[in-house]
Structure 1
Amino acid sequence: MTSDSFTIRSIEAFCYRYPLATPVVTSFGRMLNRPAVFIRAVDEDGVEGWGEAWSNFPAPGAEHRARLVNEVLAPGLVGRKFDGPAQAFESLTRGTEVLALQCGEPGPFAQAIAGIDLALWDLSARRRRLPLWRLLGGHGSTIKVYASGINPGGATQTAEAALERGHRALKLKVGFGADIDLGNLAALRQIVGAGMLAADANQGWSVEQALQMLERLGGFDLRWLEEPIRADRPREEWLRLRAGADMPIAAGENISSAEGFRQVLTEDVLGVVQPDIAKWGGLTVCVGLARDILDARKTFCPHYLGGGVGLLASAHLLAGIGGDGWLEVDANDNPLRDLFCGSLVDVREGTVQLSDDPGLGTVPDLSAIERYRSI
């Protein structure tokens, strides 16, 4: 039972949507609901594990990713024996590379595979009777968190509510015009005091706009400025930004290749690197990547904005790897997150403590969200 190898009995994805009273706003669009694609893997011994695939965009994308898992990826795994999650990840990735290219969908395939990978890591940790953070090499279960997803409208109220829930670090969405952005930053700096404050432009500016804004952001003592320009802009533009910035530049959620991460780790542009384990690479790739980020003397902060299973897996990665980074926790209402993220709902003085129970430390009760199921 404690062997690293396992035979997969079943893999199934479940898709949900929680309607939002207040849309989540970014510089590139609005989210009218919060989707989640949860994935359950069960081995022949009856041990189960849970994962989650990134599915925020486009609006119908969650159902598509769930079908990729159930109709394309799962049939290729059921009944097969693997020596561990990494072997299954490599088999899925290699086995679908041509198909992903043929249909022009390397992103959705990578996200669905990442979700399966997270489930298999949870399953493996449960088989070993170890909390996932300890299986990943962690020595402590306490990590720092920050309240993310603070919209331009109602930013003050959202920030104050986050501090009341125990947060001591905030990240504001910017990219909505200088007056709105600077006014919100001034208000949040006053609210959080000497605590951590960051800003996320969600790829919303040209390099010229970003350079102009950098001149006006210096007084807010930002811990980082995230994705000020498009992730695919030429490296010369990122280098120009770094030369004009008083604060660290952050990115990573939209880097989706080992080569892309190698590049940012060998140059002095990003001070904060933010891979998303539910979007690309899963734990199989991102455990080693997180260690490489720390070895490059950069700050590792896992990106995450989804349901509770992926958030919990991201927390275990941060605890397992260590460093002085923060876990991203969405400040907006979302039962698909809060019901399934275990101890992460209990924020105390800007930190959370993970469970010592095996795997992720909790098993989702999907009956609690049955009314939100879409497929």
Structure 2
Amino acid sequence: MRIVDFRIVRFQFARDRVIGDSQVRIAHAHVATLELIADNGMVGLGFVPSLFNPLPSQAEIERLFRAEIWPGLEGQSPAALAHKLTRPRGGNIRGASLPFGEGLDQALWDLAAKQVGMPLWKLLGGTKSRVKAYASGLDFHLSDDDFCALFDHAASIGYKSFKIKVGHPDIERDLHRLDLLVKTVGKPEAIMIDANEGWSPQQTVRNMNKIRDAGFDILWIEDPCLRYDFEGLKMIRQGCPFTLVNSGEYFDAHGKRQLIEAHGTDMINVHGWVSQVMRIGWLAAEHGIPVSLGNSFLEIGVNMALALPEVEWLEYSFQNFDHLIEKPFEIRDGWIYAHDRPGHGLVLSETARSEWAVPEVVANEDLPPAPVNTRLPH
């Protein structure tokens, strides 16, 4: 199998709700899909998201990909590229003009697994059939009513564990939201909170003790302080033995390794880059550190979650991306389940390709209404 062509489709649409945390607020989705086409007709799919700003026009995305990435792909074996290690030096240590890396990695692994006719999670060594999923609201900017409605729905369809955003300048607001969560869903199996680096180490210790004194049992505090403050993270671990520190979200593989070796976290947070997640997962297993799979585009990270022995949780955030693909992964009763489809399991929807593609940049205020989120009541 050799890579002979590629396709890129640009999407831009309003989200069905404002998502965000103590640091960011996001109301629109900007993503391109990358399809690598092999000489036998097989297609590997990857996602190229831009979190805050619209991607350039589709023609410009294609031009940049052809100039910067395609020369290293054309005629190559996807499996060989998926496993390839390089040692960049000097001026070669630089990123592409657009964030192609993760989507390219996904597309290569998709093709590699399809070539041998296996689901990606099995190719990566997975034997589990499901992983616990927790309902994550991305809820910092929601009103109390919308906050309660989201988590009430999550509980009604079987979620038993929940993560909310904290890090408000007034800890009383965070306590209020925790109180609303428990009143809405009853006694959860687990509560996680995420400050997105909103606190200092000292604030974290004080706030976590206040939260504990208020009667809330927190499984983990995620990214409580600045990511490079390894000494601060260790102080939090020592000062809050009743909860876990979950960190690493904002690091690449190199930073995650440094975090693990500095003993700055109880859990390591990984996302949707297949190669990096597996490498960090192996390292975490050597150190006896559990791994949590944070948000990955359309839950593509389930493949790594099923394959790594140290993964206990996968995050699900009710984002309305399902209209982009033919068939999403099954999530039921608080679990996300293995699939039997060759590759990573996601295929670009022909309806999305024809009806939702936005080749040119559109002002946010001129975008059509958000697509229906089939995972939420409507």
TM class by shorter chain equals 0.7 to 0.9
Larger relative helix fraction:
1
Q: Hey, what does 1:342 align to over in structure 2?
A: 327
Alignment of 1:185-264 (within 5 A): 185-190=178-183, 191-218=185-212, 219-232=215-228, 234-245=229-240, 246-258=242-254, 260-264=255-259
Cα contact 2:161–2:189 (8 A) shared by 1: yes
Distance 1:323 1:62 in 2: 39
Q: Hey, what does 2:376 align to over in structure 1?
A: none
Alpha-carbon distance change, 342 to 291 in structure 1, aligned in 2, over 3 angstroms: farther
Distance 1:223 1:289 in 2: 22
The Cα of 1:201 is off from its aligned counterpart by 1.0
Q: Which of residues 343, 355, 360 is equivalent to 2:344?
A: 360
Which of 1 and 2 has greater Rg? 2
Alpha-carbon distance change, 113 to 205 in structure 1, aligned in 2, over 3 angstroms: same
Alpha-carbon distance change, 298 to 356 in structure 1, aligned in 2, over 3 angstroms: same
Cα contact 2:79–2:111 (8 A) shared by 1: no
Q: Hey, what does 1:331 align to over in structure 2?
A: 318
Matched, 1:20 2:15: yes
Q: Hey, what does 1:167 align to over in structure 2?
A: 159
What are structure 1's unaligned runs of at least 5 residues?
1-5
The Cα of 1:292 is off from its aligned counterpart by 1.9
Cα contact 1:39–1:52 (8 A) shared by 2: yes
The Cα of 1:225 is off from its aligned counterpart by 0.6
The Cα of 1:81 is off from its aligned counterpart by 4.1
Alpha-carbon distance change, 12 to 30 in structure 1, aligned in 2, over 3 angstroms: same
Distance 2:341 2:26 in 1: 34
Which whole-Å deviations, capped at 9, do the CAs of 1:22-73 have from their partners, x for residues lacking one? 21122112101122232211112221111223421x3235869955535421
The Cα of 1:240 is off from its aligned counterpart by 1.7
Q: Hey, what does 1:72 align to over in structure 2?
A: 68
Which whole-Å deviations, capped at 9, do the CAs of 1:261-288 have from their partners, x for residues lacking one? 22222343311211223xxxx3223212
Q: Percent identity?
A: 23
Q: Hey, what does 2:291 align to over in structure 1?
A: 300
Amino acid in the other structure paired with 2:158: G
The residue matched to 1:194 in structure 2 has which SS? Answer: coil
Alignment of 1:23-102 (within 5 A): 23-56=18-51, 58-60=52-54, 66=61, 68-81=64-77, 84-87=80-83, 90=85, 94=88, 98=91, 101=94
Which whole-Å deviations, capped at 9, do the CAs of 1:314-368 have from their partners, x for residues lacking one? 0011111233511111124x1x246538353x42221121211211234221433
Q: Hey, what does 2:304 align to over in structure 1?
A: 317
Residue correspondences, number: 348
Question: What TM-score results when the alignment is normalised by the length of structure 1?
Answer: 0.83
Alpha-carbon distance change, 349 to 13 in structure 1, aligned in 2, over 3 angstroms: same
Question: What TM-score results when the alignment is normalised by the length of structure 2?
Answer: 0.83
Which whole-Å deviations, capped at 9, do the CAs of 1:220-257 have from their partners, x for residues lacking one? 2111111111213x322222222222211111221114
Matched, 1:291 2:282: yes
The residue matched to 2:69 in structure 1 has which SS? Answer: helix
Which whole-Å deviations, capped at 9, do the CAs of 1:197-225 have from their partners, x for residues lacking one? 10111122233332321221223211111
Amino acid in the other structure paired with 1:183: H
Q: Hey, what does 1:3 align to over in structure 2?
A: none
Q: CA RMSD in A?
A: 2.7
Amino acid in the other structure paired with 1:130: M
